[in-house]
Amino acid sequence: MSREPVESSSIRSIGYDPMSKMMEVEFNKGAVYVYEDVPEDVYHTLMTSESIGRAFSELIKSAGYTYELKG
């Protein structure tokens, strides 16, 4: 999955696959996490947010999506 660079103090890039509803998030410290069953509209809301980091916390982290460290 290819990731798109984002402007954030904590996140370097984000990728999304609409077929599998999987989202990859690469953090600035190098870790990459894969989040499962993320709806496409949530991904689009995240990517168009004024603050990607804050939106990530509210839309993804707080929502409790299943995730795993990629590597």
Number of domains the chain contains: 1
All residues at 6 or more sequence positions from 25 whose CB lies less than 8 Å from its CB, including other chains: 11, 13, 14, 32, 33, 35, 56, 60
For tokens 């600035």, name the residue.
28
All residues at 6 or more sequence positions from 45 whose CB lies less than 8 Å from its CB, including other chains: 55, 59
pLDDT in tens, 15-61: 999 999 999 999 999 999 999 999 999 999 999 999 999 999 999 99
Which structural domain range is residue 48 located in?
4-70
Mean pLDDT of 5-17: 97
pLDDT of 71 higher than 90: no
Q: Strand, helix or coil at 3?
A: coil
Angstrom distance (rounded) from CA 28 to CA 66: 21
